Amino acid sequence: MLNGTSIDFFSKGQSTVETATYGSESVATQTCAKQIMDLQQTLRYLGVPIRGQSYMFGDNESVMNSSSLPEAKLHNQDVALSFHHVREAVAANMLSFIHIDSALNPADILSKHWGHQQIWTLLPTLMFWYGDTADQED
């Protein structure tokens, strides 16, 4: 989301085969961190000042803890590259990795099968912005 507007959604099949959920979530986290850093750089090229850090939300708590807590240790060497790439971005205050429950995750609307009642409260987050976006704070 940028200025209250969804500007990017990324969905594709995995480019690598992982044997566990932790590995596939780590690779997805690395992809997201790279996209955030790329978008920040693009905005800088366009003259937009970047204040503070970006927020990355994930529903896998073990990946979030290992990627954002400095005292966390890597127990799976297969995902070392993803692990260190995300930890570097978090340590540099480029992004903050926050856990979000799957039932509250707007990204899951587009990637899982839900009933209308289950996602109705999440739809306005993606579809509607109330107010004038030109009145955003500097």
For position 97, what pLDDT does the model report?
A: 85
Residue 10, in any domain of the structure: no
DSSP state of 109: G
For position 7, what pLDDT does the model report?
A: 75
For position 45, what pLDDT does the model report?
A: 94
Residue 7, in any domain of the structure: no
Please identify every stretch of the chain with a pLDDT value under 70, giving residue numbers as ranges: 1, 4, 11-19, 70-72, 74-78, 107-108, 110-112, 125-138
- Which three-class secondary structure state does DSSP give residue 54? strand
For position 25, what pLDDT does the model report?
A: 79
Residue 13, in any domain of the structure: no
Structural domain count of the chain = 1
- φ, ψ (nearest 5 deg) of residue 4: 75, 10
Cite the beta strand spans of the chain per DSSP E: 54-58, 95-99
Residue reference for tokens 């507007």: 5
Residue 99, in any domain of the structure: yes
For position 75, what pLDDT does the model report?
A: 63
pLDDT, tens digit, for every residue of 64-102?
777 777 666 766 666 777 777 788 888 888 888 888 887
For position 138, what pLDDT does the model report?
A: 52
Residue 3, in any domain of the structure: no
For position 27, what pLDDT does the model report?
A: 81
Domain of 42 in residue numbering reads as: 21-135
> What whole-number distance in Å separates Cα of residue 30 and Cα of residue 58?
12
Residue 93, in any domain of the structure: yes
* 75 neighbors 33 (Cβ within 8 angstroms): no
Task: Select from 25, 34, 42 the least CA-distant residue to 105.
Answer: 25
Sign of CA pseudo-dihedral 35, 40, 45, 46: positive
Residue 14, in any domain of the structure: no
Residue 127, in any domain of the structure: yes
> What whole-number distance in Å separates Cα of residue 29 and Cα of residue 31?
5
For position 127, what pLDDT does the model report?
A: 67
